[in-house]
Amino acid sequence: MIVEKAALSNGAHRNQTSTGTVPDGWIALEARYEPLLPFVTITDNGDGAYTVTDNPVAREAQAALDAAQEELVQPPTTEELAEQLAQADAVAIELYEAQAEQEEINAQQDASLIEIFELMEV
C-alpha cells in the first residue's frame, strides 16, 4: 500500500495498492496502518522515515459530513419508483374505465334523445 504524503482538504490521504516503485510525494505504508486509512497523520521524521498515526479529528469530521448527507433528501429507489409507476398505472386504468363508462352513458342518453325527438315528429 502506498499513501500520498500530502493530505487532501478534508484531511484524508489518497492511497492505493502498489507493487512497483513508490512515486515522489508518496510513501510505502505497512499493512498494519491500512485500517486507519484514509484519515492518518503523516509526520516526516527527517531521516527518511515517517510516523503514521490516526487522525480522529478528520475521521469524525468526515463521519459528521456523511451523516449530514444521509439526512438530505435522497432520490427514490428503484423499488419506490416501481411502486409509484404501478400506482400511476392503476389510476390511469381507473380513469380510462370511468371515461368508457361515461361514453356509454352519453351514448345511451343520445339514443334516448333521438328516440324522443323521433316520437315528437310523428
- Per-residue pLDDT of the chain (122 residues), as tens digits, is 888 888 888 888 898 888 788 898 898 888 887 888 888 888 888 877 888 888 888 888 888 888 888 888 788 899 999 999 999 999 999 999 999 999 999 999 999 999 998 888 76
Based on the domain organization, do 42 and 96 belong to the same domain?
Answer: no
Q: Are residues 62 and 79 in the same domain?
A: no
- Specify whether 20 is located in the same domain as 49: yes
Please give the residue range of the domain that contains residue 101.
75-121
86 and 65 in a common domain: no
Q: Quote the pLDDT of residue 72.
A: 84
pTM: 0.45
38: preceding bond cis by omega (within 30 degrees)? yes
* Total domains present in the chain: 2
Residues 14 and 41 in one domain: yes
Q: Which of 70, 93, 112 is the last residue of a domain?
A: 70
Query: Looking at the structure, do residues 90 and 111 belong to the same domain, yes or no?
Result: yes
